Structure 1
Amino acid sequence: VRKRPLFEKEESVKLEYDVVSCIDEHTVTLHNCLYQADLKRPLISHLSCKFARIFDEGADNEFVYKNSGSQQMVLNACRGGLSTMFMFGQTGSGKTHTMTSIESRAAKDIFQNIPEGSSVTVSFIEICGKHVFDLVPPRRTEIRLRDAGKNTVILEGAESVAVDDADRLIEIARQSHTRRKTETTGANDVSSRSHAVCRITITKPGDSGTGSLVLVDCAG
């Protein structure tokens, strides 16, 4: 769980207040302003929740990447494993901000840790309700998802681009994010209206194994 800092516009409004307190690395407390049964006297209800790891508003992207399990999942994919990360939260909570930073760091770690002679490919799609679009081409192209059995899915019609270095991988991810469907909401000027799925496939030399890293930035 990661708490973002208050935006400047939130701090400038007198009626806004911080309702989340990170107590320690595993506990977060939510403060809910309510009224007594007479609907006249105010009260504040406090709800504490436990999680595997809490990051307060002072934690930077590098710290989150190294201490949330993200880096370990990337290295697992480099060794031939399957790793999947979901970024989930309400609009304006910082999902895409965190995910794009993970993508950049993951790209660098991949090319620093894969065996020499490995190949890396990337595909990037978005899921909008019942429709799926390829975000790699300059123009969003609708594609199909097909169940291939054995818990695998084929992105029918989607481009899978071979990349030779971290910079190219980061650039494809950055461009793909700009093609996502967004709308303006009260909390976010560019709220994502789709689930973005970045799939990075690592094939070891001589077809000695394949690793996969799937990064999902949920709508909101």
Structure 2
Amino acid sequence: MDQFYLKNAALYQTYVDKVDPTKPQAHFMNLPPQPAKNAADNSNPNMTISVRIRPMLEDDVTSGFPCAVYPRPHDPTTKHQTIDLHDLYNHPRRPRPILKSSTHKLQNVFEAGASTAQVYDEVVRDLVMSAADGKLGTLFAYGQTSSGKTFTVTELQKLAVADLLDRHAELHVTVVELAGNVAFDLLNQRERIAVREDASGTTQLVGAIEHQITDKDQGIELLEKAMSFRRAAPTLKNPASSRSHCICRIKVTQPDSPAQGFLYMVDLAGSEIARDVTEHGPELMRETRENNVSLSVLKDCIRQRALAATSKKKVHVPVRGSTLTKILKHVFDPEGSEECKTVVVACLNPSLADVASSKNTLRYVELLGKID
């Protein structure tokens, strides 16, 4: 497929240069778009969906791949921002390839020039402050391998720790890696731990150590230490792709309040397409399958939890479907008294070579923000 894109890169660019996304055109597969009102009516009020577009990789630029991800100018009168994806399709009954485009509506879009601090200020700080107030907050970063998830989450963790310490909060941090269905403590030299339910039904990380953070430098050192123990393996797109989910749990206590808040910052394993796994051995293929299953279960849990918030009937949330959702069980508990706010940051590589993965990522996160 890469060779097809490279061969037709100039033609593709001429197509894109002529696009007027404000007018109905045949190459947009999902036009006419839904009115903004409808999009807002079935949104999940406790779920914020954001997209971060990473800069084009140098290898893509030098190889000749054009950009496929085009954010539209933000309209301040709407509650969403729009991204157009342009793909090239080799139509069997046409003499030349044709353009196929799709449009996606998200709450926030951060273009390649946006800093991590900007992402934090606009969509993450409120989540962190919720934990400081004794509530529950969760951040998920989702996207294909080599889309900038790990960088984004690691930097957001550092900003969150600094912000909480500035507010004189007492912090205890645990960092856990899930490789397949096996859990490891990344702050204890990757020692294996057990994920078990206690007699009350609460999920416990048996063997994981909580580390108190007393200053910013110590917090940064701890987080960097955890990342140094995380498992990685090469893929076609990334020589050191994370092969796991990574969960950073920050317990927040205020000196003048008995309430205890929790902030979960989750770097999900990269979603992979066929070309990413062509050189995987049996072990990596097994992990890829298990990671994909857990991502699917996570989506189901988020959607079912949103339904439970509005339904008068009991809604089943499949938290036992994966180790990932077992650890985050209380986040999705439909009978829990705690209100959980969630931020999803979808990370995109804008190259045409990755347009299929970008489309899948956007479809996935769009679903997460819907109640029905």
Using structure 1 for the length normalisation, give the TM-score.
Answer: 0.92
* Runs of 5+ unmatched residues, structure 1: none
**Residues 135-214 of structure 1: matches in 2 within 5 Å?**
135-137=186-188, 139-148=189-198, 152-205=202-255, 208-214=258-264
Query: Take 2:198 and 2:238, find their aligned partners in 1: how far apart are those partners?
Result: 37
* Runs of 5+ unmatched residues, structure 2: 1-50, 75-80, 271-372
Query: Take 2:204 and 2:82, find their aligned partners in 1: how far apart are those partners?
Result: 40
Counterpart amino acid of residue 42 in structure 1? P
1:120 to 171, 179, 198: 171
Residues 126 and 72 from structure 1, CA distance in 2 versus in 1: closer, same or farther, beyond 3 angstroms? same
CA deviations over 1:122-162 (Å, ceiling 9, x no partner): 0001011110000002x211001122477742110001111
Residues 151 and 39 from structure 1, CA distance in 2 versus in 1: closer, same or farther, beyond 3 angstroms? farther
CA deviations over 1:18-63 (Å, ceiling 9, x no partner): 1111113411111111022326421111101000111111111111
Does the CA-based 8 Å contact 1:202-1:211 persist in structure 2?
Answer: yes
Query: Take 1:107 and 1:206, find their aligned partners in 2: how far apart are those partners?
Result: 19
CA deviations over 1:160-207 (Å, ceiling 9, x no partner): 111111221221111101111100111111100000000010123377
Query: Take 1:53 and 1:119, find their aligned partners in 2: how far apart are those partners?
Result: 31
Query: Take 2:200 and 2:121, find their aligned partners in 1: how far apart are those partners?
Result: 32
Counterpart in the other structure of 1:35: 90
Counterpart amino acid of residue 87 in structure 1? A
- Deviation (angstroms), 1:98: 0.7
Query: Take 2:148 and 2:176, find their aligned partners in 1: how far apart are those partners?
Result: 20
Query: Take 2:95 and 2:231, find their aligned partners in 1: how far apart are those partners?
Result: 44
Q: Which has the higher strand share?
A: 1
Counterpart amino acid of residue 203 in structure 1? T
Counterpart in the other structure of 2:70: 21
Counterpart in the other structure of 1:95: 149
- Deviation (angstroms), 1:109: 0.4
Highest CA radius of gyration, 1 or 2? 2
1:81 to 111, 116, 135: 135
Query: Take 1:174 and 1:2, find their aligned partners in 2: how far apart are those partners?
Result: 22
Residues 102 and 205 from structure 1, CA distance in 2 versus in 1: closer, same or farther, beyond 3 angstroms? same
Counterpart in the other structure of 1:65: 120
Query: Take 1:148 and 1:64, find their aligned partners in 2: how far apart are those partners?
Result: 37
Query: Take 1:206 and 1:72, find their aligned partners in 2: how far apart are those partners?
Result: 20
**Residues 41-56 of structure 1: matches in 2 within 5 Å?**
41-56=96-111
Counterpart in the other structure of 2:59: 9
**Runs of 4+ more than 3 Å apart:** 148-152
Alignment length (residue pairs):
214
Counterpart amino acid of residue 92 in structure 2? A
Query: Take 1:53 and 1:148, find their aligned partners in 2: how far apart are those partners?
Result: 39
Using structure 2 for the length normalisation, give the TM-score.
Answer: 0.55
Counterpart amino acid of residue 130 in structure 1? N
Equivalent position SS for 1:100: helix
Equivalent position SS for 1:80: coil
Q: Is residue 132 from structure 1 mapped to residue 186 from structure 2 by the alignment?
A: no
Counterpart amino acid of residue 169 in structure 1? G
Does the CA-based 8 Å contact 1:180-1:192 persist in structure 2?
Answer: yes
Query: Take 2:198 and 2:103, find their aligned partners in 1: how far apart are those partners?
Result: 43
Residues 106 and 149 from structure 1, CA distance in 2 versus in 1: closer, same or farther, beyond 3 angstroms? farther
